[in-house]
Amino acid sequence: MDHEFEPYQIERSALIVTAKQPFVDWLHTVDPTSKDIGLSNINREPTVYLVPPFETQDEFMEWLEEHCDNIFQEALDGWWTDKRSWPPDRGITVFQEWFDCRLYSMVLDLDDEPL
């Protein structure tokens, strides 16, 4: 049965996180078999996080500072699961050296199934 579905805006923003060169350098150090993997390979399919909507950039930065370790761990675990090789400092300063973040406030749901 065909029916028209109207997309609706959800009360979330989308955060897309991509790696920078320090991430690749780390990966090459811990995994010698990864030497042919470059930044474009790692960022081919970036991770998208649904996050709360933010009123200001400062509000977003406060949230990111609080959650950057979780995002950092998720990215590391996707490429190398030996946590002993992970950088011990995964705070906001190192996070921003290793990753770019782009925040998108307009998120539409095109599926009629509930989230």
Residue 110: predicted pLDDT: 80
Classify residue 25: in a domain, yes or no.
yes
> Based on the structure, what is the number of domains in the chain?
1
- For residue range 83-94, list pLDDT tens digits in order: 999 999 999 999
Q: Please indicate, yes or no, if residue 94 is contained in any of the structural domains.
A: yes
- Flag whether 102 is in a domain: yes
- The answer for residues whose C-beta is within 8 angstroms of residue 98's C-beta and 6 or more apart is 19, 20, 22, 23, 26, 72
Answer whether residue 81 is part of any domain. Answer: yes
Whole-model pTM: value is 0.87
Which range of residues forms the domain containing residue 52? 9-109
pLDDT in tens, 26-65: 999 999 999 999 999 999 999 999 999 999 999 999 999 9
Q: Which tokens sit at 80? A: 């190398």
**Residue 114 domain-assigned?**
no
Q: Is residue 4 part of a domain?
A: no
- Is residue 3, in this structure, part of any structural domain at all? no
Contact status, residue 64 vs residue 92, Cβ threshold 8 Å: yes
